[in-house]
Structure 1
């Protein structure tokens, strides 16, 4: 058994290119397109795989920052226990990506619930502004992560994913 995930992905990509590709009927445009898309996706996975952990951790850190901003708008600081838990999770090297993402999703759910239950118009507006402002780093990271997909009108305006994640 080979534990090198990059090697395994490259083997699959080679099989798609060298064995499956020639067997696909060139007249079947959808099959040709899907094969190309599969190979491009595998290339992106190989390229991004080393960055996944940093991306998950950055997403959690950004969510913590947003939750802190939202919590500051309510004198009772209702998100403090979840923020404390999330901060501790960032410091725990034993937690895997899935654990970190569960904590991030829980924190987002609590922010959503707090916002949904807020009835004071001024407080709702302030919370909405904080949520929108906090969404920018996440959106920028997602766009940079997927830039190779070809959907950006001008990819040169985006920072590189490595810069966003502080990867040398």
Structure 2
């Protein structure tokens, strides 16, 4: 069976541009603006739909790398926070190791790891200064890959101030660290 997602999106965009747009009342400026936003959103989705699974895996791999890096200093935080981080790491590793893991499972595991990291970062504010500093240092270090991937992901929208410095999306998603 052939995936018709691209064809469906292209046809939808064409219908909006060629049928709906001309039928709009010329005085309905807000409707025209909203239609343009919808068409742009569909164009963006069309450009990125094939990479959604790859992006979910990148995000999970990235957050897992950070979670592993802060695992030792996390022990200085509350036991519940450290345990939640360990559980999230196990869940994330399981999702990545299973070739049959669906995109939704990878995304859910990634969300669990990200949530555990957020809680750890909050908890670290009152932790031992050495542990807090280690967690902060690793978090800032890890942010570079996410920022680069986000810039590449959203590049088609045209908002990046220096688009020439953004790597191709495939390269940005290939290296979580």
Bin the TM-score by the shorter chain: 0.7 to 0.9
Aligned length: 166
Structure 2 CA distance for aligned equivalents of residues 131 and 39 of structure 1: 36
Match of 1:164 in 2: 172
Match of 2:145 in 1: 137
**Residue pair 2:55, 2:173 contacting (<8 A) in 1 also:** yes
- The more displaced of 45-54 and 66-75 is 66-75
Match of 1:12 in 2: 12
Partner deviation per Cα, 1:96-151 (whole Å, 9 max, x = no partner): 22211111111122222233333212211221121122122112211211111111
CA RMSD in angstroms, aligned pairs only: 2.2
Structure 2 spans left out of the alignment, 5+ residues: 77-81
Tell me the secondary structure at the aligned position of residue 73 of structure 1.
helix
Match of 1:125 in 2: 133
Match of 1:42 in 2: 42
Deviation at 1:50, TM superposition (A): 0.7
Structure 1 CA distance for aligned equivalents of residues 44 and 121 of structure 2: 36
Match of 1:150 in 2: 158
